[in-house]
Amino acid sequence: MDSFDQSLKYLLQKQPTDFVRFALRDPEARVLGPVPSGLPARSRDLDGAYFIETGGAALLAHFEFHRRHQSAGELAIDVGEAQVRLHRREGLPVVSLVWDLYGAGDGPVIGERSFAFGARVLTDCSRVVYLRVNLRGLGWKALLAEAPPALWPLVTLARDGACEDAVHEARDAIEARTELSATERADHLAVLWFIAEAEDLPVRVMKAYITEERLMASTLYESIFEKGEARGRAEQCADTIIGILTRWAGALDAAVSTRIRAVDSLDTLEAWLREAIYLPDAESARRLADKIGRASSS
C-alpha cells in the first residue's frame, strides 16, 4: 500500500493545480504555494495542503486521500481537527477536499458532506463541512476526456477503469504529453502501474502496455522499489530475530514481537540480529528480549 500512497502524493505534489481545479470545479483556481503538512498533536501528516486563490478569495486547500476503513464520523473528526489546526496556524479559511478512492459507482463525483459534532445552541451547532471527490462516479472514458491530465494515471480508480482498454488509453494519453519531460512521463506511467496493481489488474496486463524500460526511467518507480527492498530486508531481520529468541526462550512475549516488527531502522534490526545470532544461552536471550522491550520503536 506504500506505493499506492506515494503515487497519489507524487501526483498531488507535482500538479496540485489540476487537483484543486477538478475538485472545486473552478478552471481559474490558482495554487500559490504549499503549506507545511506537519501539524502538532496529530498522529500523521496531512496528505497535502496548499495556499490557493479561487473566486477572488485566498484560502487553504486541505487534501485527504481517504482509503482507510473509517466511519463517516471518524473521517469527519479527522478532517475537522486538521481544519482547526490549519486555520489557527495560517489564519485563513480552510476548504477540505476528501478524495474518496473507493466511493460508490452510482454516487456523485463531487458532493458536499457535513458532520455535526456539537450540541445545538438555539438554531445551530458546530459541524465539519468538506467536499468529497468520488472518482468512482466517473467512467474511465469520461475521466480521460474530462479530468485534467494529472488525474489520467488514476484511470483504474474510475467506475469501470480496472480493465485493459483503460490502461492502454491512459498510457497513450500520458505518452502524448509533450509538455512533460521523458522522466516525468515515466513517473506518470509508474503511478498508472501502481494504482492498476492496487486495483488487482494482472501484471501481464500492465506489461503489455508499459515496458520495463519505461518504468526504469522513472525516478518515482526507482524510489518506491528501493524502499520496498529495504522494507523486505527489515521484515526478514525481524522474523529471524523473533525466531531465534523464540527457540531459546520457548515462547516470546507478544509485546516484544510487536516492538521488533515496529522498528523502521534497518541498522537497529541488524544490530539486534547480530546479537541474537551469537547468543550463548537462554538467559542471554532473555536479556536481549528485555533490552528490545525497553528500546524505542523508532
Locate the domains of the chain by residue range: 1-137, 139-217, 233-294
Asked if pLDDT for residue 231 goes beyond 70, the answer is: no
Asked if pLDDT for residue 41 goes beyond 60, the answer is: no
Cβ-count burial of 30 within 10 angstroms (0-12 exposed, 13-18 middle, 19+ buried)? middle
Rg from Cα positions in the chain:
23
pLDDT tens profile 270-294 = 888 888 877 888 888 888 888 888 8
- Ordered alpha helix ranges (H), 34-123: 72-90
pLDDT at 216: 72
Residue bearing cell 503489455: 208
Phi, psi of 97 (to 5 degrees): -115, 105
Asked if pLDDT for residue 9 goes beyond 70, the answer is: yes
Residue bearing cell 472518482: 135
C-alpha cell at 290: 528485555
pLDDT tens profile 55-96 = 999 999 999 998 767 788 889 999 999 999 999 999 999 999
Q: Dihedral of the CA atoms 38, 41, 46, 51 (nearest 10)?
A: -60
DSSP state for residue 109 in the 8-state scheme: S
Asked if pLDDT for residue 191 goes beyond 50, the answer is: yes
- Is 0.75 topped by the overall pTM? no
The per-residue pLDDT of the chain, averaged, comes to 85
Asked if pLDDT for residue 189 goes beyond 70, the answer is: yes
State what percent of residues in the chain have pLDDT above 70.
92
pLDDT tens profile 194-230 = 888 888 887 677 777 787 777 777 877 666 655 555 5
Average of pLDDT values for 4-18?
A: 88
Task: Classify domain 1-137 by CATH architecture.
Answer: 3-Layer(aba) Sandwich (3.40)
pLDDT at 224: 63
Asked if pLDDT for residue 25 goes beyond 80, the answer is: yes
